[in-house]
Structures are given as structure tokens and as C-alpha cells.
Amino acid sequence: MLEVSGLTVEYATGKAPVLAVDDVSFSVEDGEFLGIVGESGCGKSTLLFAMAQLLSPPAQITAGSVTFSGKNLVGMTDKQLSALRWQKLSVVMQSAMNALNPVKSVAAQFADALRAHGMTSRKAIAGRSAEVLRLVGVDPVHLKSFPHQLSGGMRQRAMIAMALLFTPELVIMDEPTSALDVVAQRSLMVQIKELQRELGFAIVFVTHDMSLVSHFSDRLMVMYAGQVAELGGTRQIFDNPLHPYSKGLLEAFPGIRGPKVPLKGIPGAPPDLSIVQNGCRFLPRCPQRLDECATTAPELVPRDGSTVRCLLYAGACTNAQPSTGAKK
């Protein structure tokens, strides 16, 4: 249903361009929940913007394709995109609660979106707005409210409701729960999962909090420094992480239950993307480095049902692969 292939996004800075997203490929099936996790600077939000064709200069897609429902979104005109947007594909942005227009009521904003995509009858608009609010668990009486009159959790639900107005096939979410408290977060995730079950849409969920998606996503993609580090089934990655970064990340979460163990985290910081790296980008922080890691940039290789970008798993292929550190 969604196929991202070789997507590359460059930020044109004064000097060398920065590869914020480097050759990322993955696919999403109908009704699937894909979690994209990574820390600051890994490129996950840029990837999301690129998928939704929302990038603006100095960022631009320089390679790859985003195939949705058989059509390549990269290079489409605004007119072609608007036919797809909101009806087939919608986006919930980060801090969505601050993305609501503070001087318009919720009903007015829903009506705007509905009218922009073809619905004209006042009755139909009112009906659909109420229906969609009920879907996310908010009493339709709040249609008349302004955003500041709603709590954070309710605003977030209203944003999700707005994304579901036309029952799209795919909803992309960028950290929709980051500003909420842990109880509200859990409640919202449960609601999202239930909605997915009911309406059957696929979700791409971007977050920095791995534990948040651990119980909800079908597959998980771990990003580091603009590249895919590991991609596979959620349980698989949690139970048996392959990439040293995934391992490090999982071990950086102190447990609520069970014995208390001293943890190490991952010392160091993500690399400066404006400097072209030869070899693996995770090398300076990797506890399992090999000699080849400094000179050979690892490719994504399949392993036990997941794919992982690490020389530890390149096996017999290591010698045959030329150094591909300098990507265009």
C-alpha cells in the first residue's frame, strides 16, 4: 500500500549538503502499524515530512520514491496531491495541540477541512464532525469549544479526529503524544489502536520513545543518523535486538519492575551529518565494533526475518562489498 524506496533528503547548507535522510526504504501493508523510532537528529521527522510531501527549501528530496496506492508521490503537483491528501492519506503533526487554530472553534476547523475536500452540505458536515469526535471518545458537545478550552488530551484527540474525517487508508503521526502525561498517553495509544481495528487504516507512527510503541506496533524501524539501522517485527526487535544501537536503546530504559541493574546508556552523541562519513555512522559509540567498521559502510542485510545495517551480520558478504561511504 505504501512503498518507500531509496528515499534521500538533503538540506542545502552553505557548505556540503546535509543528508538528513539517507537511502531509506520500507513498506507498509494495509492496516499495519509501523513504528519509526530514533533519537534527536536521526531524521525521522524529516522522513515523515518527505513522505507527506511537506518539505520546503532548504530541504528537498534528491532521490527515491514514495509509492502510495500505486502512484509515486515524489514530484506530484499540489493539485494531484490534494486529491489524495486527507481522503487517502492524512497527517497528525507533533504537538498537534498547538497546531489547532486558537481563534476558531473545533467545529469550524473540521468544517474547513471537510469543505476543502468536497463536502458541501451543512448537515453532512455537522453530522460527520460529530461522528468523528465520538469515534475518538470526545463528546460532540465540544464541537463548539475553542482549543484553549479543551485539555491537552482532548485537543490531541480532536487532531486525530480531524485526520480521520475521510477515513483515510494511511495516517502518519509525528509524536502525537509527546506533550501528554503518561496516563493520557496510554489512553490515547489504546484509542488509536482501537480505531485502527475498527476502521482498518494503516499507521506510520514516529516517536523517540520506544517503549510507547512496544505494545502497539506490528513492525518497528529504528533510525540512526539518517539511515535505517534495523527494521523488523516489534516483538522480535524487543526480544532479540540485532543492531548494537537497538540493543543500547533498549537497555537505556530502566525497568519499573524486576531487579534493579546498573545501566550504561550509549555514551557520546550522534554524528555531525554535514561531515561525510566513511564506514559506519554508529562507530564512535559502538561497543561491538570491528576493524572494518571504520572503512566499510554497512548495507542493510536480512537476518532472522528482520533487516539490519551492521557489519556484524554481513557474514560472507563483507569482503565482496566495496566501500560505499560516499553516497551522492
Partner 1 sequence: MRFLRAFTRNPKAATGAVLLAAFVVLALFPGLFAHDSPTAELYQRNLGPSAQHLFGTTGLGQDIFAQAVYGTQQVLIIAFGAGLASTVIAAAIGVAAAYLGGFWDAILSLFTDVVLVIPLFPLLIVIAAYVHNSGTTVMIAVLTFTGWSYTARQLRSQALSLRNRDFLAAAKVRGERARYVIVVEILPTMISLLVAAFLTNALYDVLFASSLQFIGLGDPNSTSWGTMLYWAQNNEALQAGYYLQAIVPGACIALLGASFALLNYAFDEIGNPALRPVRRRRQRALLVRRLSRA
Partner 2 sequence: MTELLRAENLTRHFKIGGSLSRRTLHAVDGVTFSIGEREIVALAGESGSGKSTVARLLARVYRPTRGQILYEGKPITQIRSRKAALAYSARVPMVFQDPFSSLNPVFRVSHGVLRVLKLHRPELSGHARQAEAERVFDVVGLGADMLQRFPHELSGGQRQRVGFAQALATKPKLILADEPVSMLDVSIRIGLLNLMTKLRDEEGVSILYITHDIASARYVADRLIVMYAGQIAESGPIEDVLGDPKHPYTQLLLSAVPDPKAPPPSLAALAAASGERGEPPKVIDPTPGCRFQPRCPVAIDACKTVTPELTAAVVEDEAFGATGAGVMAVREVACHVAQTGAEVKAFT
Closest CB to partner 2 among 168 and 244?
Answer: 244
Instruction: Establish if 234 lies at the interface with partner 1 (CB under 8 A).
Output: no
Report the alpha-carbon angle 248-253-257, nearest 5: 135
Nearest Cα residue to 253 out of 238, 270, 234: 238
CB of 190 to partner 1, least distance (A): 25
Report which residue type is found at 175: E
Closest CB to partner 2 among 134 and 215?
Answer: 215
Instruction: Please select the residue that binds partner 1; options are 19, 61, 162, 273, rule is CB under 8 A.
Output: 273
Residue with the three cell numbers 524487543: 238
Closest CB to partner 1 among 16 and 116?
Answer: 16
CB of 18 to partner 1, least distance (A): 8
d(CA 207, CA 63): 24
Residue range at the interface with partner 1 (CB under 8 A); choices 26-34, 102-110, 227-235, 271-279 = 271-279
CB of 272 to partner 1, least distance (A): 5
C-alpha pair distances (Å), 311 with each of 8, 11, 149, 297, 322: 22, 28, 53, 8, 13
Closest CB to partner 1 among 140 and 152?
Answer: 152
3-state helix, strand, coil in the chain (%, to 5): 35, 25, 45
d(CA 64, CA 280): 22
Strand locations in 176-261 (E) = 202-207, 219-224, 227-233
d(CA 121, CA 128): 11
The single-letter DSSP state of residue 21 is E
CB of 161 to partner 2, least distance (A): 15
**End-to-end Cα spacing for the chain:** 28
Binding site for partner 2 (CB under 8 A): 39-40, 137, 151-153, 180-187, 190-191, 193-194, 208-212, 214-216, 235, 238, 248-250, 252-258, 260, 262-267, 269
d(CA 124, CA 232): 42
C-alpha pair distances (Å), 313 with each of 66, 139, 238, 321: 28, 52, 18, 13
Instruction: Please select the residue that binds partner 1; options are 101, 121, 240, 274, rule is CB under 8 A.
Output: 274
- Residue 103's binding partner among partner 2, partner 1, none (Cβ under 5 to 8 angstroms by kind) is none
Residue 83's CB: how many other CB atoms inside 10 A? Answer: 14
- Residue 181's binding partner among partner 2, partner 1, none (Cβ under 5 to 8 angstroms by kind) is partner 2
Closest CB to partner 2 among 117 and 186?
Answer: 186
- Residue 249's binding partner among partner 1, partner 2, none (Cβ under 5 to 8 angstroms by kind) is partner 2
Residues 6+ apart with CB under 8 A from 142: 106, 133, 150, 154, 158
- Residue 193's binding partner among partner 2, partner 1, none (Cβ under 5 to 8 angstroms by kind) is partner 2
The cell numbers describing 70, all together, are 500505486
Report which residue type is found at 78: D
Instruction: Please select the residue that binds partner 1; options are 7, 19, 28, 45, rule is CB under 8 A.
Output: 45
Mask for 4-23, x = binds partner 1 (CB under 8 A): -------x-x----x-x---
Q: Which of residues 75-94 bind partner 1 (CB under 8 A)?
A: 94
- Residue 146's binding partner among partner 1, partner 2, none (Cβ under 5 to 8 angstroms by kind) is none
Instruction: Please select the residue that binds partner 1; options are 7, 9, 26, 41, rule is CB under 8 A.
Output: 41
Residue ranges in contact with partner 1 by CB under 8 A:
11, 13, 18, 20, 40-41, 45-46, 94-95, 208, 270-274
